[in-house]
Copies of this chain bind each other. A is one copy, B any other.
């Protein structure tokens, strides 16, 4: 049996959404970010994911963000659009807009806020898939939706053609490997890990690509890492991953006494992009807060050590 190629592979960064000081999408900065990533050699762009502040943006700003990414990508790489909403009807609304705005695929989580059974999660994915003609990746992100997608259900939905890939941010590497094994014969299925500190390990285990938040900041590093894996240069891959793992400590810059996980991650990525001259400002959506000057200097020190300033 010929396996076919995965539809999406390599580095697919979940783009941050640069904002103006008043909280509007900073379109020129977002265009520069797209350019920065595409030139680095990424394999796709994931707009409106958790890193894109999808849960923070109004619908108007979600639309502006996606529309900008699609336009700036200009067909050079595929654009995946997060459709992050609580339940089925609301996700379908977002999926229809994503299709209209030119996304190449949608990325969909299990329902959240609602309390649903695995059987209902299946029904959710089926209904969303049926609503639009686009490829759909299941987005497994229990830290946000508080539901873990079971291996066997993902594999079954893949076999049925309901889900065309997995974006795994669950941290469950053993489960991810089991999905990879279980979907091995499915043409086009894309197994993408979001576990950005073990990309070498997960590509050894069979991942087709990675969706690294830190890839906003150092796309060149992730592209080198991904290529080393693809070429079987595992010790090169490990060395690159170790370097990126150290760089990841920028997410510890913001004080845990006053900043939640979203602020610590997104705030640091945006701050680093400002320091690297890619985007204009590090504004984040409320109730998150921007990093302080002191925290910013911690980020700068990490960038410097990594040779990125």
Identify the stretch in A168-176, A219-227, A290-298 within 8 Å (CB) of chain B at 4 or more residues.
Answer: A168-176
Contact B88 A285 (CB under 8 A): yes
Kindly state whether residue A288 has any CB partner on chain B within 8 Å. yes
Contact B174 A121 (CB under 8 A): no
CA distance A47 to B121 in the complex (A): 26
A215 within 8 A of B: no
> Which residues does chain B contribute within 8 Å of A28, judged by CB atoms?
none
Q: Does A20 contact B (CB under 8 A)?
A: no
From the candidates B116, B235, B287, name the one contacting A87 in the complex (CB within 8 A): B287
Question: Which of A201, A260, A262 has the most chain B CB atoms inside 10 A of its CB?
Answer: A201
Interface segment out of the listed A6-14, A107-115, A159-167: A107-115
Q: Is the CB of A200 within 8 A of B205?
A: yes
Choose the segment among A52-60, A70-78, A271-279 that binds chain B (4+ C-beta atoms closer than 8 Å). A52-60
Contacts A56-B89, A198-B201, A201-B202 given: A127-B286 contact, CB under 8 Å?
yes
A116-B287, A177-B245, A234-B234 are known; give 10 further A-B pairs, CB within 8 A. A50-B113, A58-B89, A58-B93, A89-B285, A117-B259, A120-B287, A171-B173, A173-B201, A177-B242, A178-B245
